[in-house]
Homo-oligomer: A and B are copies of this chain.
Amino acid sequence: MSVHLLQTATSVLLKDPTASLGDVARAAGVGRTTLHKRFPTRTALVRAVASDALDLIESVACHVDFDSDDALEDLMTRLVALGPRVEFLLRFPGLDRDEELAARIREMDRPVLDLITRLQGTKLRRDLPAWWILHTLYAGLFNAWEAISDGRLAPLDAPRFVLSTVFEGVSDVRAVDRT
């Protein structure tokens, strides 16, 4: 039941970052008092939601074989499926001001950055910084989540769209004539 509460809080706060605790409690079907019992302050709730999202990412990242050549595709596919729970992490305003959370995020980025750097020896472009590629991947994820929540993109289509677009770009290869 605590899990469902966090999920509801995630979606409510993501749709409207200024939503009151009363809104969150009502959406979750619990009393505001109960919400305050579990999360004494608003920032505590936000941190719990963010922390939950980080746990979620870790729980899928540990299933990815980072030594594989398809690790990035595998990771991305799994992340796309997580949806709003993780979108919250990248989108919620002022979240980066929490140093502890920011540190945890950097900590999670590190192995992915290493993976990207390694893959730049084989399948990834070497003329782009690893951090730029990482953020391009994030941008692709973000893009897909937004399209899904807008109802324009079917969740099952999302991984294919993201991977295909981010890796191969939007140019028609057969028509490419630039250097």
A interface with B by C-beta (< 8 Å): 16-18, 93-94, 120, 122-126, 128, 131-133, 135-140, 142-143, 146-147, 152-153, 161, 164-172, 175-176
Contacts and interface: CB of A to CB of B under 8 A. Distances in A.
A143 B135 contact: yes
Given A16-B94, A136-B165, 5 more contacts: A17-B18, A133-B170, A138-B143, A167-B169, A168-B176
A152 B168 contact: no
B168 A123 contact: no
A172 B93 contact: no
Contacts of A169: 165-169
A137 B170 CA distance: 9
B125 A93 contact: no
Contact of A18 (B93, B122, B172): B93
Given A18-B93, A169-B167, A146 B153 contact: no
16 contacts: A17-B18, A17-B93, A120-B172, A123-B175, A124-B170, A124-B171, A125-B170, A125-B171, A126-B172, A128-B164, A132-B147, A132-B153, A135-B146, A136-B170, A139-B139, A166-B170
Which residue, A16, A94, A133, A169, has most C-beta atoms of chain B within 10 A? Answer: A169
A18 B170 contact: no
Contacts of A152: 131-132
A165 B123 contact: no
Contact of A170 (B122, B138, B153, B167): B167
